[in-house]
Amino acid sequence: MGRSLLVSILILVGLLHPLPVAAAPRAGIQVLDQSAESHFPDQFVFRLRARSSGGEITSATLYLQVGWEKATRLIPVEPFSPAPEVEITAVWRTSGETVPPFIEVAYRWEVVDSTGEKLTTEPVYTEYTDATHDWQRLEDEHVIVFWYGRSADFGQALFQAAQEAYDHVSRITGTTTERPIRVVIYNDQDDFCVFYAPRTCEAWVGGQTFAGITVQWGSDLDWFVYDVIPHELAHVFYGEIFRNTWVTIPTWFNEGIAVYNERTDHSQEMEMVREAAEQGELKSLPVMTRGGGVVHGEVGLWYAVAYSLVAFIADTYGEETLGELILTLADNVPFEEALQQTTGLDMVRLEIEWREWLGYPVESVPTPITLPTMAVTPFALPTAPRGKPAATATPHPSPTPTVAPTTTPEETPSGGGLCPGVVGLVLPVGGWAGWSLARRRK
């Protein structure tokens, strides 16, 4: 009786708490391994090993996001035979494009099997490494600096300049970037031009700034530390702030905020502007905003005026107000409306108060008149349209440089730069004309 009762209890317990049974294998696709291998400057090779438990893997696609660009690239895979387990290869052939070294690349795979099962992997972040030099790098959460063939002190100075330049823009705008800005320094133009598409690296090109990264060449440490890095890093940072901005931004403002970020006292710029004001040679703000052809010798003054306008806003209303103006523009408020919201000025009052700040007040400013075409060869203030990176001029330009075709800067699209465009990779974010690169800190 007792034994029968015990057996009954055990059966009841077994019914209430059945022993675990091994589950049947779930049909699906599993990633066994994946990798990315840089072969700079020719190609970037991506590999995937995957297995399907429900059928044969029949197709795969690789998707890339390069740098900070929003667009997704589709890279076709090499032919493979359908099978339950496959090794897949996709090759991004970079030799025909202008792809900067060390640019960040995010990739993901889409794999489909014969049952219709589809797997999309999580993005993996890597970088397009240049292994042709013994590179060194310094980094923190906001900036990464790459250099080679020079001392650790040289690199440390570059890194500190990048940190301070980043911090200045961040302090003005109260923002940070989601990913670090990359700064790559080559020693000479021969090394630098390797990453360009064939026959596109002109003799005057001294650097290139892309979304998320700037690549420059040279050996003058002061030039890098006080001018180039702060200026170009500002273009990268502001380009990210204006990432989703569709209203146009005056070219003078886009370049002015970059020059304002340079680590110089800007006495040369201010002397040029005041001398032009004294001689009555300052162009009106509507002309600056409208842009158009500028005689070659006036490019330096154009940049100086752009800087002084931004400096006036910061000096008179504070850098916090300058930051508010930038962020209001980023919210797609047209420039004059954003100016009124943040400073209370319209464009006419801006010019009148700016001239008074310079020490050369006027009671009114003239309305610009459209003049007939002059019999001079203009030096356009070039703007790199979206889809083209902006090139900076070499610090030692050739006597007769050949300038690539450019558009005139009526108003720069958000993220645009004041530099010659060269067909390339990602969204433009700005650069310098030759006069600026020729300056040296005394």
**pLDDT 10s digits, 321-374:** 999 999 999 999 999 999 999 999 999 999 999 999 999 998 887 665 444 433
Check residue 393 and give its pLDDT: 53
Nearest to 311 by CA among 371, 259, 359: 259
For the chain, the farthest-separated pair of C-alpha atoms sits apart, in whole angstroms, at 121
**What is the per-residue pLDDT for 367?**
61
Residues in the chain, pLDDT under 70: 1-27, 290-296, 366-442
> DSSP class of residue 78?
P
Look at the pTM and tell me if it is higher than 0.85.
Answer: no
Alpha helices, H only, 86-224: 152-173, 189-192, 221-223
Decide: residue 434, CB within 10 A, 0-12 exposed, 13-18 middle, 19+ buried: buried
Beta strands 85-93 and 57-66, pairing class: unpaired
Instruction: Dig out the tokens for 291 from the structure.
Output: 């842009």
Looking at residue 398, what is its pLDDT?
Answer: 32
**Residue 65 forms beta bridges with which residues?**
106
Q: Where are the extended beta strands (E) located within 94-174?
A: 104-113, 118-120, 124-127, 135-139, 143-148
Query: Any residues with CB less than 8 A from the CB of 295 and at least 6 apart, and which?
Result: 376, 378, 379
Measure Cα distances from 397 to 48, 152, 394, 426, 437 in Å.
46, 29, 5, 25, 10
pLDDT given at position 4: 52
Between CA 206 and CA 188 the distance in angstroms is 9
Domains delineated in the chain? 29-127 (2.60.40.10), 135-438 (1.10.390)
Looking at residue 121, its pLDDT comes to: 98
